[in-house]
Structure formats: C-alpha cells, structure tokens
Structure 1
Amino acid sequence: MTDSVQIGGDAVLTPRTEALRARLRLVAMALVPVVGALVLSGLVLLALGVNPLAYYSYVVERGLLSPYGVQATLTRMAPLLLIASGLIVAFRAGIWNLGGDGQFLLSAVVVAALAPLLIHVLPDWATLVVCLVVGAAVGAAWSVLPALLKAYQGVNEIITTLMMTFLGVSFANVLVKLAFRDPATTVPQTRTLAVADRLPRLFDTTISSGLLIGLAAIILVHLVMTRTAFGLKLRIVGANPRAAIHAGLPVPALTVAVFAISAALSGLGGAVEILGVQGNVRADWNPAYSLTVVPLVFLARFNGFASIAFVFLFSVLSIGGESAARRTGVPNFFTLVVVAILLVMLGITEYLDQRRRAAGK
C-alpha cells in the first residue's frame, strides 16, 4: 500500500500517512520542549560552574536507579496525578482553574486536623475514607465562588482562582498556627497522624497506596473525557461556548460542575499527601504542586496516559534533584528553574508550530 496518491501531478498523502504524521508531530511537540529545557538548564549549570552531566547523572541515579529513590519517586507521583487529572478536566472544558494550590493546601490542613481526632473513634479504614471524602469536599467548596462568578457573571476565572489560591494558602497557615495547632509542639503544626494509621504501603515497600488512587483517578478522567457523553459535552463547551449554548447545553451548570470536579481532585491530592506521606502540616508549608503540574499537562496535550509519563519524569527530576543539589552545591529550587525553562520552551514550540501550520495553509 502506497502512502500517497497522484492527483493532477501532485502527490496527496493518504489518511493513514496523515494520521501518522499527526502523531509524530504531537510526539515532537512534547519531546522538543523537554529536550530544549534540559539543554538550556545544562547551560545554566555551566554558568554556575557545575558540570551538567554530573548533575543529571545524580538525578537519574537517585530518582530512578536506586531502590529508595524509585519508591520515593512513585510516592511523589500520587498527589501530582490527582492534580493533573483535575487540570485535564478543567482545561478540556476550556476553563483555567489555577486555584489548585489553595484547594490542595486547605484540604491538606483540614484533613491533617481531622484524621488524628477520628482515628480514636472510627476504624482505621473508615477514618481514611472519611478524610479522603472531606479533602475532596473542601477542595470543591473552595472553588464555588470562582465557579459562580464564571458561570453567571462571566468573570475571568484566571483572576478569581489565583486570588482564591492566595486566600486559601493564607487561611491554611492561619488555621495551622491558631485553630488546628498542636499544643504539644513548639513549632506551629497540626497534630500528627501515626505512621501505622496512614494509607497502607504497597508490597512491603515505602510506596504509598495513594499512587493507586492517583492512577485510578487520571485513567478514569481520561476515559470519561474521551469516551462518554458527559466528556463530549465538556469538550464542546471548551471548544465553542456559544455553539454549546445554541446546541441547548446547560453551560452554566456544566461550568460549575467542571470547577467542582477539578477542585475536588486537587483537594483529594492534598488528602492523599497527608494520609500517605506527611501525617501533619507545618506552618508555611506549601509545595505549590498545582502550578508545577500545569506545563506537564500541556506537554501531554491533556491526555491522561501521557500525563502519567510526564508526571513520572518530573517526579524523577524532583526526587533526584534534591540529591543532586546537595552533591553539586546547586540550590534545591533549581528543579523549579528547569520547570520555568520548560514553560518558556513550550510556549516557543507552540508559537513556531502555529506559524508553520499558518504558512502551510
């Protein structure tokens, strides 16, 4: 079978070849920013007097090759996958929910305060289930105001969700230092959930079973968004809200639903982080996972399975980067520099691709 046919002297690609080229373009659009970010980050390391090959080798050794590092990497993935699944729902529906950090942290603080109290009155499994549900509910509740303003007043959700993130982070710190503070400690923090009462480990390792929750969530979100009528409605709203209104879709209700689902998944990520790893929340703790996951979801083109791969890559970089930073004298936040460069490279790649497609028309 040929890959092109001849029409009027011009070669026309077959649908099969067109589909293959489209897939290759998507792969290139995902890999080029990653490779470019690693190269540019290496140049930054050179400017700092650090051997980039040594830095990256330490990253791979710690985050991917050592048994403890792999377990830490897989555990780190759990909240990131839940946040990514929430972002996929929002972005596919054309909604910019950038309030994930506030939803995540506020849910984490509430769960951290609630779990040590419930463990004395409920069975372990019931405590974990209740706290997971409460975490999701707190995240969803924190999105109500931006959802209503977007759905019924048309207020830009980027502004409102970022404002709610600022408020959520500040409110969470107030709760830790005042209402939920453990009186038995000198450093402001919530009471600590004992390791034995947290989410079970997998296969006699240190890997939290929260990883399974994260994998299940992102796969379910992918299937719902690509294989169900509800997902189709959300994609129509995201592609063309006016057309969705003319088609009779309840756009305001769907908008509120998207906010609730997206924020609930971010809140669930906060609950999983506390119940699976941290056990408590200290004052001023904010891992800022949500804004970090945004470029990973874009690189994956809102595909759940591809997002798993990029979250794994970032987790390796994050866990391995901590060890590499200590060995090479680079600041711990250099991983965020790599992510920032990745964002720039993603924007440049998108711009060049749009120009190429416009020139080809």
Structure 2
Amino acid sequence: MTDTQISTPDLTEADRRDQTARAEARAELWRGRARVALLGIGPVIGALLLSALVLLALGVDPIAYYGFVIERGLINPYGLQATLTRMGPLLLLAAGLIVAFRAGIWNLGGDGQFLLSAVVVAALCPLLAPHLPVWLVLLVGLVVGALVGAVWSVLPALLKAYQGVNEIITTLMMTFLGVSFANVLVKLAFRDPATTVPQTRTLAVADRLPRLFDTTVSSGLLIGLVAVIAVHLVMTRTAFGLKLRIVGANPRAAIHAGLPVPALTVAVFALSAALAGLAGAVEILGVQGNVRADWNPHYAMTVIPLVFLARFNGFGSIAFVFLFSVLSIGGESAARRTGVPNFFTLVVVAILLVMLGVAEYLDQRRRAAGK
C-alpha cells in the first residue's frame, strides 16, 4: 500500500471536518443576521400595530391613516422629494450618534447643538451673501455650523474626560441651555428688524444649497449620506474606530492598553457634536432659510431610537431614517385628512421606544436561557 493510499482517508476526514466547521459558521452567521433583523424590524411592526390601536381608540381608521402616510410620503412625487430632503439633517444627526454610542458615550445634547448652530448660521449667511460667492457662503455656513456644535460640547466633554461626570446629565442640561440661548438670540441679537415676527434674516432661495437633478430635493441629502457612510467605515474599518470601540466596550482595559482615553473622549464629543451642528446648518442652508423664535423640531431625540434599531450600523440607519421621514412627511398630510393631531408621529416614535426596550429585554432573557 502506497503512502498516498494511507494518507487519503485522513485528508478526507479533515476535509469533512473543515466543511462541517464552515457550514456551522455560515449557519451561525445567518442566525445572527436573522436576530439583528428581527430586533430591528420587530419593534417597528409592533409600534405600527399599537399605534393602529390608538387610532382606533380615537375613532380613526388606521388603514386610511397609513394609506395617506404612504401616498403622501412615498408615492406622491412631491411628497417623496420632501421625504428625501428631510433625511439630510437626520442622517447627519444619526452619524453623530453612531460615533458617540459606539464609543460608549451618551451625547444627548444634539438638539441644543443643532438649534444653536442653525441660529448662528441663519444669522451669519444672509449677511455674507451680498459680499461673497454663493459657494463660499455655503462652505462658511457649513464649517461654522460644525464648529458651533463642537464648541457647545466642550464643557460636557471635559467634565466626562477628566472628572468622570455623567454625560447624560451634562448634555441634557446643555440642551436646555442651548435651546433657550438660541431663542434669546433670535428675539434679540439676531432678530431681523424688517419683520414683526421674531426671526433671523432670511437667506435667499438662490443662495441656498443646490437642488438635485431638477427636483426640490436639497443636496443636503448627499451631505448626510456621505457623512453617515464615512462614519460607518471609520468606526468599522480604521484603527481610530477600533480605539473608540475599545474605549466604549471597556474603558479600564483601554487605559491598561495605553490608549489616551481622556483625549479620545473629547474627540468623540467634538466629532459627534460637530455632525449635529452640521445638521443644523444643512437644515437652514437647504430648507428653512431662517429661524423663527421658539422653533425646535427635536430631531436629535427622535433619531436616537432609529440609531438603536439599526444597531449603530450606518447603512441600517439610512433605512430607518428613510422610514421615519416617510412617516413624518406623510403623517403631516394624514393628520390634516383624518383630524389626528400633528404630533401623532411623535406618539408613534414613543411607542417605538417602548417596543425597542421590550425587544431588548426579551432578547436578553432568551440569550440568558440559552447559556
């Protein structure tokens, strides 16, 4: 018997073991993907069903309501364009939250960073427009918006990095302060003297972000898409992203590994808040053109459950932001047609948060029972 004949059965058995291992790995991969999909889609379906029950309790046909939402937010060409435009600032806020949450930092100050940046940009750009080229005005507005957002995060960042102060408390406090300060600026320092209603000066439509492909869709959508994809790739494919994930997973281990945790913490705050500030700039330069007193869309808090549903994944966040934008734009039309209050969309988001918590609890119990 030759050496080849002797070794063949061993090689065949090794091949079988290798094939079995690969099959088990593929099966485990698909189980993981199915679990992530279920945890992402399940709460959405549950929230829509519970919201339908609320509509029934209000005497409104939920099928008609959701039909109006889909027709206006997705099927109607002008509604779809409004949906895509709405996505721009939401995607930038999602990108900022992904950076913070993956690094284990709860930046809940997005609304303050967003609104304060929006007010500063709305006050500055109309003054620059008569003296500078349009592209330069837009560039200055975007940079200033990002800088204002980053600066507004300095205090919570330093307190977290060097004193260990809980950032949930400090960022929420800075949000309340930022929103109030923004309103004061609109009513006093930045008020347009030519209007009776307190608001900033208005940036002319011709000086705003260009539209895409002869539609009403603002190019802020492209800025948001580029930002969220870039953040996803940085956080998953680069050494900097790996460092941030290590800090978020285990800060003590990060310190023992020699990582500059305080500096990385400040960098995360600055990057997250800069993206929130950039979202405010995009909203003004692409859509609003000015800021009226007491205006606050609460975009940042609304985006938080969407980012959690996407499991901090950039591409998943795009999908959930699109779904929310359809619900938001379509809900405005559906509210008028069915007599439902305009804020019913926020009710759906609140129910979504509850369903997300329930889904996480059930998943944790399932995983604990499987051990």
Bin of the TM-score, shorter chain as denominator length: over 0.9
Alignment of 1:319 with 2:329, yes or no, is: yes
Cα distance in 2, alignment partners of residues 60 and 12 from structure 1: 43
Alignment of 1:1-361 (within 5 A): 14-361=24-371
SS at match of 1:212: helix
SS at match of 2:284: helix
Cα distance in 1, alignment partners of residues 361 and 31 from structure 2: 19
Q: TM-score, normalised by structure 1?
A: 0.97
Deviation (angstroms), 1:13 = 7.4
Cα distance in 1, alignment partners of residues 130 and 259 from structure 2: 47
Q: Aligned pair in 2 of structure 1 residues 193, 171: CA closer, same or farther (>3 Å)?
A: same
Structure number with greater Rg is 2
Cα distance in 2, alignment partners of residues 31 and 203 from structure 1: 32
Cα distance in 2, alignment partners of residues 315 and 16 from structure 1: 35
Cα distance in 1, alignment partners of residues 248 and 181 from structure 2: 31
Corresponding pairs, count:
353
Spell out, residue by residue over 1:209-255, the C-alpha distance to the aligned partner (whole angstroms, 9 max, x if none): 00000000000000000000000000000000000000000000000
- In the alignment, structure 1 segments of 5+ residues that lack a partner are none
Cα distance in 1, alignment partners of residues 361 and 114 from structure 2: 32
Deviation (angstroms), 1:207 = 0.3
Cα distance in 2, alignment partners of residues 242 and 49 from structure 1: 55
Amino acid at match of 1:326: R
Deviation (angstroms), 1:12 = 12
Cα distance in 2, alignment partners of residues 12 and 65 from structure 1: 44
Amino acid at match of 1:79: P
Cα distance in 1, alignment partners of residues 158 and 90 from structure 2: 26
Cα distance in 2, alignment partners of residues 155 and 306 from structure 1: 31
Q: TM-score, normalised by structure 2?
A: 0.94
Deviation (angstroms), 1:121 = 1.4
Cα distance in 2, alignment partners of residues 16 and 273 from structure 1: 43
Amino acid at match of 1:94: G
Deviation (angstroms), 1:86 = 0.1
Q: Which residue is equivalent to 2:4? A: none
SS at match of 1:14: helix
Cα distance in 2, alignment partners of residues 349 and 211 from structure 1: 31
CA RMSD of aligned residues (A): 1.2
